[in-house]
Amino acid sequence: MRRRALVIVVCLSVIAAALVAAPVSAALSGSGARSGATAAELPGSVLPRAPFEPRAALGSLWIGGDSMVYQIQFALKDKVANAFHPKVFWLRGKSISGIVRIDFYNWPAKLKVEMPKLRPKAVVFMIGTNDGQAMPVKGGAYRFGTTPWKRVYRARVGSMMSTMLHNGVRRVYWIGMPIMRSGAFGRKMALINSIFKAQAAAHPGVVYIDAWRLFSSSSGGYVGAWRSGDGMHFNMTGVYRLVNAVIKTMHRDW
């Protein structure tokens, strides 16, 4: 009798376990369960992860700007080549150029010619050291930092960003000006940076890289160990400090 009772108990346990498991199995298979069941609704179950979609390859890179980018462009090219293996590079560093004196070198116009023709996938751009001056306009000049100066400068920066983004560029890495040894010069660069940062925020696809913070001490001061003797450009330690920061930022996208 005891053996028969034990057999009956075991059989009942098996049947009960099957009845409990049936709804879970149906939910996992999608049979007899409502659609959209989540892991939270299925305690102990693990839903398959979505297939990994690799980020697009960085097929081409355009690097441009004034003498600051001219300093870093070759080291940056080498680092990008090792990290992302693009097939094509274009290097467009132009010393003494800027966004203010388009009578000397017209960056907005140059970009409108080059971007549609080359259609790079990404752009690294750095400019500004020559822009702390009056802006020539028809009939005179706008003094640096005045309301009309800022209005025109802002429009030119925004136009350049739009030109890049509307011609196949998926990401623009716009590098701001670093802190300067001269306080007066640094204040001019800080104003220019504020325009760069605001315009980058207004143009999805543009990433602003904060070189000011990167080259400042923990207390916000100038650090000569990363800079050349003129207090503006970089020494080789500074070059690679900036290049590594750009590469780190690019790794988020490619």
**3-state SS of the chain?**
CHHHHHHHHHHHHHHHHHHHHHHHHHHHHCCCCCCCCCHHHCCCCCCCCCCCCCCCCCCEEEEEECHHHHHHHHHHHHHHHHHHCCCEEEEEECCCCCCCCCCCCCHHHHHHHHHHHHCCCEEEEECCCCCCCCEEECCEEECCCCHHHHHHHHHHHHHHHHHHHCCCCCEEEEECCCCCCCHHHHHHHHHHHHHHHHHHHHCCCEEEECHHHHCECCCCCECHHHECCCCCCECHHHHHHHHHHHHHHHCCCC
Provide the mean pLDDT of the chain: 84
Please give the pLDDT value at position 234. Answer: 98
Please give the pLDDT value at position 56. Answer: 72
Strands 140-142 and 135-137: antiparallel
- Kindly tell me if the per-residue pLDDT of 107 is higher than 70: yes
Q: Of 6-20, 70-84, 131-145, 231-245, where does mean pLDDT reach its minimum?
A: 6-20
Please give the pLDDT value at position 55. Answer: 63
- Kindly tell me if the per-residue pLDDT of 172 is higher than 60: yes
Please give the pLDDT value at position 30. Answer: 35
Please give the pLDDT value at position 123. Answer: 98
pLDDT greater at residue 101 or residue 35: 101
Domains and their CATH numbers in the chain = 2-41 (no CATH), 60-250 (3.40.50.1110)
- Kindly tell me if the per-residue pLDDT of 161 is higher than 70: yes
Please give the pLDDT value at position 219. Answer: 97
Per-residue pLDDT tens over the stretch 188-208: 999 999 999 999 999 999 999
- Kindly tell me if the per-residue pLDDT of 114 is higher than 90: yes
Q: Of 4-18, 22-36, 113-127, 184-198, where does mean pLDDT reach its minimum?
A: 22-36
- Kindly tell me if the per-residue pLDDT of 213 is higher than 50: yes
